[in-house]
């Protein structure tokens, strides 16, 4: 899952992905997808490669973090008020930890704890493995970093393909903290698009893990809350949770293959964070929904609900991948989101 700079209404991009197994999504009515008239989509707000963006509001400013790019493990950008996004030269994660290879850091996501400190979730290759990724955790007293990695991975199911795309969430009602991530089952696939379009197709579940108020300590076992189906192509990935003012949980995710125009942003809804989740009947965003929107993915909503950030491929011919940041203003109504 990768980064660089310009104006607010935008986000970041993504570099790599993969994952396995999950339960039913069960539900009756299916939420509709986005209405595209009067769209709030803006971007690209950066002209640099900034994939798999994650966004966090802090003291009236916004900070975004990207997959490895520009020679940095985790590039980051900031935006104050009505100013444009500015890419910073410092590496937010100087070292991914003793357990990880110092390369290909994917899809970082940052949360703020009640004591004012910060936790970053990210994916990195475990030492000695040239293919798989596992989820790591790092902490910092400043949103800007530097973040210090915990000595061992947060989630590393290597037999199932590893784990990627972790995103933190604190329930606005209960105050409990969770992390969602993808089991990278397609890393164990038989080939084809993103390694998983040749039968038998491998499961790529999204798992929900409760954590302590420190954002790090595991509580219980992870549970599957979503998985791919035939409409999703080889995988689902890049999960992120937001709860609307009406109490509906929106699980945003990407499907298709990140290297192609089939990559799309989708969402599913539930009345309980553990599900069951019902997928919307149509994608929230797909290639062609707007200028420069090709292979959009990696969407997440800021904790204050004001900004959705995501990336899209800016390469004229699709290759090489060069993902720029886009932003939008999400609007929630029942089980439907529009931007």
The two three-digit tokens of residue 264, written as one number: 């799309």
In the chain, helix, strand, coil percent, each to 5?
5, 40, 60
Handedness of CA 132, 91, 2, 120 (dihedral sign): positive
Cβ pair 186, 195 in contact under 8 A: yes
Instruction: Indicate which residue of 91, 109, 232, 237 is catalytic.
Output: 237
The two three-digit tokens of residue 241, written as one number: 């949770």
**Using the 8-state DSSP alphabet, how is residue 91 labeled?**
-
**Cross-sheet strand order for the sheet of 76-80:** 54-58, 61-65, 76-80, 86-88
Cβ pair 19, 185 in contact under 8 A: yes
The three-class DSSP label of residue 198 is coil
The two three-digit tokens of residue 55, written as one number: 């966004």
The three-class DSSP label of residue 186 is helix
The two three-digit tokens of residue 301, written as one number: 């909503």
Q: Establish whether 52 is a catalytic residue.
A: yes
Q: Establish whether 109 is a catalytic residue.
A: no
The catalytic residue positions are 52, 237
């Amino acid at each position: 899952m990768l980064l660089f700079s310009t104006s607010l209404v935008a986000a970041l991009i993504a570099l790599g992905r993969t994952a396995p197994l999950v339960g039913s999504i069960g539900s009756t009515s299916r939420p509709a997808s986005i209405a595209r008239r009067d769209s709030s989509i803006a971007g690209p707000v950066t002209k640099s490669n900034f994939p798999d963006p994650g966004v966090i509001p802090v003291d009236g400013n916004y900070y975004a973090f990207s997959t490895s790019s520009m020679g940095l493990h985790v590039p980051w950008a900031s935006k104050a008020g009505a100013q444009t996004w500015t890419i910073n030269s410092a590496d937010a994660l100087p070292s991914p930890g003793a357990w990880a290879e110092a390369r290909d850091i994917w899809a970082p996501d940052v949360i703020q704890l009640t004591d004012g400190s910060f936790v970053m979730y990210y994916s990195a290759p475990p030492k000695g493995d040239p293919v798989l990724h596992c989820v790591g955790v790092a902490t910092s007293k400043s949103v800007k970093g530097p973040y210090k990695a915990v000595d061992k991975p947060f989630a590393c199911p290597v037999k199932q393909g590893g784990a990627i795309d972790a995103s933190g969430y604190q329930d606005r009602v209960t105050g409990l903290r969770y992390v969602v991530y993808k089991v990278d089952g397609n890393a164990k696939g038989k080939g084809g698009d993103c390694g998983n379009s040749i039968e038998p197709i491998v499961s790529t579940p999204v798992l929900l893990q409760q954590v302590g108020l420190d954002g790090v300590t595991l509580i219980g076992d992870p549970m599957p809350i979503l998985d791919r189906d035939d409409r999703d192509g080889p995988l689902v990935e890049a999960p992120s949770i937001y709860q609307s003012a009406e109490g509906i949980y929106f699980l945003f995710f990407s499907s298709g293959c990140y290297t192609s125009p089939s990559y799309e942003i989708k969402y599913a809804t539930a009345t309980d964070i553990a599900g069951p989740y019902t997928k919307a009947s149509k994608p929230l965003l797909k290639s062609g929904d707007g200028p420069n929107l090709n292979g959009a993915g990696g969407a997440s909503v800021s904790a204050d609900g004001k900004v959705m950030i995501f990336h899209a491929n800016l390469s004229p011919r699709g290759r090489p991948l060069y993902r720029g940041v886009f932003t939008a203003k999400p609007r929630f109504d029942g089980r439907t989101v529009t931007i």
